[in-house]
Amino acid sequence: MREYPGKRRRRNGQRALPDAALTFASQWQWPVVPGAGLEPRRPGRRDRTRESQESQHSQESQGSLQPAARPHDRECTCPYAECAAPGAHPYDPGVLAATTDPRMVRWWWEQRPDAPVLLATGGRAPSAVSLPAVTAARALTRLDRLGVRTGPVVATPERWALLVASYGYDELGELLGEHGWVPASLGFHGEGGYLALPPSQTGAGRVRWERAPRPDGGAPWLPPVASVVDVLVAAVVAAPGEGSRFVG
């Protein structure tokens, strides 16, 4: 385990992330892991190793809410100088370490109380579908008009993600295959992926709830992906300037 020297003393308001992580893990049984996080920009920074670059590219393939440009004064703590998802990906520990064990979660956030909270998606945890924010707002309006019940929606300034019940990639492939054309800007966060949860701060901005969870004595209810994916695909296809890809 990497050492984090100079552990910061908590002040009032600094319990938001540790408390959120504990709620997700212990009350809702959502496996979480700390994200890489952000740090002050270092002038003249270069990649430390070729291996770190290859590792980061692998992490990007798992999906985060928004591969965004870094803030001017902050950058990712990982070794990759051109990180495409600053702060919003696992680094040390990796996503496979995600857990619901409250003892481990407490220890992680005792060491790094400002670490982003990442959900390890799929399996027994929620999955998600993400898309550009403006298009997502239109899609949610359409779902509401159709009377489709939605679950929690996670938002950054540029992208929103609808949390859904865990899906398999075979199931997802069948659903998308019915469309033939799938927008490139539609992101899928299933098994082996991850997603930053509120109130994390990442290079894409502050993560918040666009639609807050409504737990009823346990984890929030989640819709099946089949109930929302058609509307999401259609919304992105219809959005001006959105590209699309054929699913073969």
Q: What is the 3-state secondary structure (H, E, C) of the chain?
A: CCCCCCCCCCCCCCCHHHHHHHHHHHHCCCCEEECCCEEECCCCCCCCCHHHHHHHHHHHHHCCCCCCCCCCCEEECCCCCCCCCCCCCCCCCCHHHCECCHHHHHHHHHHCCCCCEEEECCCCCCEEEEEEHHHHHHHHHHHHHCCCCCCCEEECCCEEEEEECCCCHHHHHHHHHCCCEEECCCEEECCCCEEEECCCEECCEECEEEECCCCCCCCCCCCCHHHCHHHHHHHHHHCCCCCEEECC
Residue 232 lies in a domain: yes
Angle among Cα 161, 224, 130 to the nearest 5 degrees reads: 15
Q: What is the mean pLDDT of residues 76-98?
A: 92
Q: What is the pLDDT of residues 30-75, one digit of tens each?
A: 999 999 999 988 766 554 434 444 444 444 344 445 444 444 578 9
- Domain span at residue 175 reads 29-246
Least confident of 61-65, 75-79, 85-89: 61-65
Q: Residue 80: its pLDDT value, please?
A: 87
- What pTM value is reported for the model? 0.81
How many other CB atoms sit within 10 Å of the CB of residue 106? 15
Residue 11 lies in a domain: no
Residue 6 lies in a domain: no
Tell me what percent of the residues of the chain surpass a pLDDT of 70: 79
> Above 50 in pLDDT, residue 6?
no
Q: What is the CA radius of gyration of the chain?
A: 18
Q: Residue 184: its pLDDT value, please?
A: 85
CA atoms within 13 A on the CB side of 2: 12
Cα 189–chain centre separation: 8
Q: Do you find a cis peptide bond into 224, omega within 30 degrees of 0? A: no
Can you name the residues that pair with 161 across neighbouring β-strands? 130, 154
Q: What is the mean pLDDT of residues 209-225?
A: 90
Residue 4 lies in a domain: no
Q: What is the mean pLDDT of residues 144-171?
A: 97
Predicted confidence band at 214 (pLDDT cuts at 50, 70, 90)?
Answer: confident
Cβ atoms of residues 78 and 34 within 8 Å: no
Least confident of 11-15, 29-33, 63-67, 203-207: 63-67
What distance in Å separates the CA atoms of residue 159 and residue 133, rounded to the nearest whole number? Answer: 4
Least confident of 7-21, 27-41, 45-59, 159-173: 45-59
Cβ atoms of residues 231 and 138 within 8 Å: no
Choose between 184 and 195: higher pLDDT. Answer: 195
Q: Residue 82: its pLDDT value, please?
A: 86
Q: What is the mean pLDDT of the chain?
A: 84
Q: Residue 45: its pLDDT value, please?
A: 55
Residue 46 lies in a domain: yes
Q: What is the pLDDT of residues 96-138, one digit of tens each?
A: 999 999 999 999 999 999 999 999 999 999 999 999 999 999 9
Residue 15 lies in a domain: no
Which tokens is 124 given? 């027994």
Q: Residue 202: its pLDDT value, please?
A: 95
Cβ atoms of residues 194 and 62 within 8 Å: yes
Residue 176 lies in a domain: yes
Q: How many domains does the chain have?
A: 1
Residue 229 lies in a domain: yes
> Above 80 in pLDDT, residue 162?
yes
